[in-house]
A and B are shown apart, each in its own frame.
Chain A
Amino acid sequence: DSGVTQTPKHLITATGQRVTLRCSPRSGDLSVYWYQQSLDQGLQFLIQYYNGEERAKGNILERFSAQQFPDLHSELNLSSLELGDSALYFCASSVEPGHYGYTFGSGTRLTVV
């Protein structure tokens, strides 16, 4: 157990729907990062939060949004889902931005049918 908790582990939904992925960072970590990993591809950075504020944006679609709450957990909202959104979504956390490495959760596998 890495200390980063992601729920749900698996999600199957239909095109056009909206889902919310949840992440609880490791205790003491203030930064949360979201990544998308499609089959046999690398980690694509989506968005980063630090202590409730957005710090950096990567290749995140306008249909996707995220937030970090006062208790530091984060949610990634994916709307108007398309087949191509099927992927593993990872959350990672660190003490602060750029701190020595990230701790990753075990991911949420999203399947859009």
Chain B
Amino acid sequence: GESVGLHLPTLSVQEGDNSIINCAYSNSASDYFIWYKQESGKGPQFIIDIRSNMDKRQGQRVTVLLNKTVKHLSLQIAATQPGDSAVYFCADRTGNQFYFGTGTSLTVIP
């Protein structure tokens, strides 16, 4: 996605529930995608990545799904915990440049 300076969308989930965070990207030539997590007062941290020749990749409690047909990326967090509260960004790579989405603020309710 490309950051357009909009205010962050927000998502609130109950602790223990699954979270799904969505991201749209614009360039069909994007070949690599990353999800980052940014906790308050910290820099973004790599969570999981996926190449364009895949449609799903799983990590520890996280899964990324890629739908190239509609240029959509999602991050699923299983059994969401309070420590998952953060802003989540997607980034897509076109050529040798990464483009970051605006981000989604996830709040986990204990």
Name A2's closest neighbour in chain B (CB-CB).
Answer: B43
| A42 & B46 in contact (Cβ 8 Å cutoff) | no
Interface range on chain B (Cβ under 8 Å from partner): 20 to 34
User: When A and B form their complex, what is the total count of cross-chain residue pairs whose Cβ atoms lie within 8 Å?
Assistant: 64
In the assembled complex, B67 has its CB within 8 A of some CB on chain A: no
In the assembled complex, A34 has its CB within 8 A of some CB on chain B: no
Interface range on chain A (Cβ under 8 Å from partner): 20 to 34
Given contacts A43-B100, A90-B44, A105-B43, contact A98 B7 (CB under 8 A): no
Chain B residues in 8 Å Cβ range of A105: 43
Q: In the complex, which of the residues B3, B49, B95 contacts A101, with contact meaning CB atoms closer than 8 Å?
A: B49
Centre residue among A40, A56, A105 by max chain B CB count within 10 A:
A40
Chain A residues in 8 Å Cβ range of B53: none
Chain A residues in 8 Å Cβ range of B4: 42
